[in-house]
Amino acid sequence: MQKNAPIADQIAIITGASRGIGLAIARRLGRLGARLALCSRSAAAVEQAAAALRGDGMDARGWSADVSDANSVRHFAASVRQELGDVSVLVNNAGVGVFEPVQDLAEADWDRVLGTNLKGAYLMSREIAPRMILHKRGHIIHIASLAGKNTFAGGSAYCASKWGLRGLAGSMGEDLRPHGIRVSTIFPGTVHTDFSPHPGKDPARMLQPDDVAHVVEMLLLQAPQSFVSEVDLRPSQKP
């Protein structure tokens, strides 16, 4: 990467980075000059993603971590600091979805969705924020969903996690503003990934992972005296 790239040599963590939206964000940040710390539950998948980015000339490393587990997050964050340095960009993208009517939703599935989508963002942010505070800079970006503003049948766990993420992010933004840290949340509509099926929808009219990555880039490159707290992202035509 060129040393005059917009975020040259800044350390960026992207969770859920082995595919889809997370990988697109990682690739975009790598092109901007960031040194990439990719996180995924699957060691094989995240290393494959990191290797692909390195093949494109980016500085990328992969770690296996469970964002819903405090010890796993702590170990991951410590490893990133030891091998790369202090993080200035955190993208909380890891997410899972189980879509069942509430009366049929298993407690284990509720725990898995809330643990990954909401608790995971809290744990990772709690681990990274203190060093950002020390340096008086940083940007934390949460990848939510328009399901965090709109409900639908079968979405009780998923919607609850994304509505909760919106509340978490808003409060975090107020906590961290005095320390020069910007907190933003992106609320994408339907994105064409293998995350969940979208029967009857035209993939060509859906949002693409790189559309979300483009918004992340815009947030990071905004003028330092301002920050965008929320972005609603929709396809130009309904799929």
Residues annotated catalytic, as ranges: 158
The 10 Å Cβ neighbour count of residue 188 is: 22
Q: Is the Cα torsion angle 194, 196, 200, 204 positive or negative in sign?
A: negative
Among 105, 209, 82, 227, residue whose Cα is nearest residue 157 = 105
Radius of gyration of the chain (CA): 17
Q: How far is CA 218 from CA 38, 118, 120, in A?
A: 20, 24, 24
- In sequence order, the β-bridge partners of residue 115 are none
Pairing of strands 60-64, 87-92: unpaired
